[in-house]
Structure formats: structure tokens, C-alpha cells
Chains A and B, each alone.
Chain A
């Protein structure tokens, strides 16, 4: 059975008028990424590392576009210094982050970033919300997009690992 919440985030993007979506390929965001790639009104940008997306977001805003970022909690660590661009210039910023290291995590290498994502982002100056209930993802997505592009804040929505299927590597 497919998950509905990625479609709810996509609907929130359309409602908020998102122009650019920057992403690093991610299993949890697969449905949402594919929806954005298929949308001719969204410029979907595949990154080699998450920090590129932070700078891309700032450039998009300079040019009048709204850009959002999709990534996994492990990618947050790759963004830290680049987030100084967001904070120093007070660019609106919003990231949707699928969490690792929470619920039935198979891979211990995901634990260091997964267990410190919220604190890391808050230290970098972002406002952080977390959602666990699939039915609440859509409203939370709309709220965080409003916080970024209307309230002109930098923010992240953490998508709890319980929202995505358990990964086992076949073991």
C-alpha cells in the first residue's frame, strides 16, 4: 500500500507556490521527488551533496523563486557551514527531512546524525518541528512552508522514521 503523506506534502508545495525543489535521492522521499520531477512547473534539482541545496535555495530567493529542500537526517551534517548563508542574510529556508536513527534503525552508522538532527539544526538557527502522525503531515507541511515564505524564517520539518517502511537490507 502506498503512503499518502508524500502526496500531501506535494499538494502543500503547489498551494504555497514552490518553484524549485532541491534533493538528494532518498527512499523516504521517493514518491515526493518523483512527483516534483514530473511537474513541469517545478524545477527539480538533483544535488551531489546537501550543502549545494542550501546555496541553491538562497540563489533562488535572490531571483524571486521559492525553493525547498528534501533530504535525510544524515545530510544535515553536510549543511552546517552553508547554513551560515541562510542565517547571516536571513534567507527564507525550509527543509523536509526524513529521519533515520529513530524507529527500528538497522544501521548503527545512521545513529550519530539521526539522534542529533534536531539539536544540530537548532544550533544552526533553524526552527524545527517534527511530525509522526501520517494524517498530520499535510497540515504541518503547509504550516512550515508558511513559516518560511510568508514569515520569512528558516525552518525544518522532521518526518519521523515511523512514517517510512522499516529498512532491513534483507536480513
Chain B
């Protein structure tokens, strides 16, 4: 078991804030579970859809949204554990080539909700290489603040699909919870995006 993630320089809450503020019209799907709390802490708003369950579904939910809204940038921000559970969805994205979809995996090499047990990425699994092997051409790993700053424009405007692993520190953080009412989350998202007629 590797403890290296305890020394990764990037803090996930800072990364979420940077991504959320990088483009105010970006639509965001966050996966179970820590990325939900990260983006809620960064600024809970209707254009974020946090998944309280449906583990493994964040990427395909983002794909459905990206296909429905080809003129909007869609970002899926999820964790390494959630990504591993839906790993085949990267092949589905790769085949469909959504030009407006960015996937950011906040990789702390841990299952945060269940007690910080290590995921497969703590030892041998490389999610960026996996995504590339599944057919996503534009993949990479972000490890530092400088690398994040340099990538920001590409993450929010670059030709998709864009896939990045963002190595973030394994650290204990307070829960900052969004609403867990799924109907409310759905309706506020659709109202903000599509208008009152969508309700």
C-alpha cells in the first residue's frame, strides 16, 4: 500500500474552486462522493448536478448531457473510486467523441466515503493510460498548481473529449453537503439551463 498521496501538492477543494470559477456557463456532473462536497464547498449552484449514488454513472451522465447540449461545455468531476466502477464508460465516450466533454478525475488513491481505503490507483492502475487505451486521445495527469493553471483553458474550451487525472492529496476534510433531494437537484438544473417551461 502506498502512502504517497498524503504528500501530493494539490488540495482537492482548491482544484474544485478553480475549475468551477474557470467558466461560469459550464455544466458540471460530480460523482459519488468527495467531488460532490468539493464542488458544493466551492459554490453550490444549479449548474452542478451532484450524484449521491449511482456509483460508476458520472461519465455516462455527462455524456448524455453533452450530447443534448453540444454548444455548452460539460465537465464530469469525479473520484478515482467512482471512475474505476464505471471504467467501460470511457470506451463509450471514446467511440462517441463528444467535442464538448471534459472528464476530470480527482485521484487521491483512496475511497474517501468508506474510510480512506486505497483504490487500485494507489498501486498499479494508471487511469490516464487506461483512458488512452480505451480510445480517448487527449489524456494526461495534472500534479501541481502550475500544471493546473496551464491546463485550465484547455480543460474548459479544448476539443473534447478531454480526460485528465488530477492527483490530489489524501487528506481529511469536513463534509460540505449539497441537497440530497434528487427531484430538487434535477429541477433546479433544468430550470437554470432550459427555463421555466422545463419544469
Contacts and interface: CB of A to CB of B under 8 A. Distances in A.
Interface stretch (B33-41, B90-98, B139-147): B90-98
Given A64-B194, A89-B182, A82 B54 contact: yes
Given A55-B64, A58-B64, A64 B53 contact: no
Given A46-B92, A52-B88, A60 B57 contact: no
A102 B65 CA distance: 36
A84 B88 CA distance: 20
Interface stretch (B119-127, B160-168, B183-191): B183-191
A81 B87 CA distance: 16
Q: Indicate the size class of the contact surface on chain B.
A: 35 or more
Interface in A37-54: 43, 45-49, 51-54
A65 B57 contact: no
A91 interface: yes
Interface residues of A, number: 32
A63 B198 CA distance: 10
A81 B58 CA distance: 13
A59 interface: yes
B1 interface: no
B65 A53 contact: no
B68 A89 contact: no
B62 interface: yes
Contacts of B69: 63-64
Nearest to B53: A84
A8 interface: no
A65 to B, nearest CB: 4
A160 to B, nearest CB: 29
B57 A82 contact: yes
Contacts of A56: 60-61, 63-64
B20 interface: no
Nearest to B89: A52
B149 interface: no
Given A64-B198, A84-B53, 10 more contacts: A19-B68, A46-B95, A51-B57, A55-B57, A55-B64, A56-B63, A62-B186, A64-B68, A85-B57, A90-B182
Interface of A: 19-20, 43, 45-49, 51-65, 67, 81-82, 84-85, 88-91
